[in-house]
Amino acid sequence: MDFHKYFDFAEGNAPVILSCPHGGYKKPIRIPDKPLGPRIADKNTYFIAKLITNLLKAKGIKIYYILSKIHRSKIDLNRPPHSSMAFDKTSTEANGVFHAFHDQLIEFSQDCIAQFEKALVIDFHGFTRPYESYPDVIFGHIFGQTLDLVHDNTSKACEKFWGCYQLEAEISKHFSIDNGFAESEYSLAYSGGYITHQFYNVKQVNTIQIEVAKYIRTDALQTKKLVKAFVDAILKSINGK
């Protein structure tokens, strides 16, 4: 199976992995629609993820990344494989694609640990704000249970953890954030899906599901701010700032 048909992925030279499971656009007829669950893609997340990786490359940094090309109506990579919301169980191709994505993500994390003794996994998603005062960006990490690497022991919540600290600091310059530590309606709803849960209490890995509001992803100026914030945060994470 040629997985380049289904994913855009590459190894990197820095301990950061960008995952984008819901931005795919391909709807192969040979893969049946999944029986249950959301069938709407996270608009522009694939495009934005490419902007992030390309801007980092221009600065000499290659992060690991795996971006799904398959539309969410066919396969939902952020649901457990036994769930009918993940894919149609009659499709061997859908089953193969699903497990290949997760196997590659785990392999990337293990490679980062072997080379750099740490890994930051950013799982990039989108959502639509239900009302005006809802946060622009929401972090999900099962209330810190997918965060193992400490940035500053004297700090609390997000500021304490490597990667989380830098992402919150840079993104909050432009957008309102729920950092995932308060047990609010936001962080309960977005505490992390199946991908994030794969890294529950895993040593030397910090994993954050990041949900970005649709208005940011569909406006060129807001997208530019978001991409810059991501890139600056990743660079500072790599450089230990």
Assess whether pLDDT exceeds 90 at residue 167.
yes
Q: How far apart are CA 109 and CA 143, in angstroms?
A: 21
Q: What string of DSSP letters covers the chain? A: --GGGTEEEE--SSSEEEEE-S---B--TTSPPPSSS-----TTHHHHHHHHHHHHHHTT---EEEEE-B-TTT--TTS-TTSTTT--TT-HHHHHHHHHHHHHHHHHHHHHHHHHS-EEEEEEEEE--SSTTS-SEEEESTTTTTB--BS-TTS-GGGGBTTHHHHHHHHTTTS-EE-S-S-SHHHHHTS--HHHHTTTT-TTEEEEEEEEEHHHHT-HHHHHHHHHHHHHHHHHHHHT-
Q: What is the pLDDT of residues 48-101, one digit of tens each?
A: 999 999 999 999 999 999 999 999 999 999 999 999 999 999 999 999 999 999
pLDDT of residue 171: 98
**Domains delineated in the chain:** 3-239 (3.40.630.40)
Q: How confident is the model at residue 179 (pLDDT cuts 50, 70, 90)?
A: very high
What are 222-231's pLDDT values in tens digits? 999 999 999 9
Q: Model pTM?
A: 0.96
pLDDT tens-digit readout, 91-149: 999 999 999 999 999 999 999 999 999 999 999 999 999 888 899 999 999 999 999 99
Give yes or no for residue 158 having a pLDDT over 80. Answer: yes
Closest-CA residue to 32 (of 80, 89, 83): 89
Q: Of all residues in the chain, what percent carry a pLDDT higher than 70?
A: 100
Strand 7-10 and strand 119-127: the pairing is: unpaired
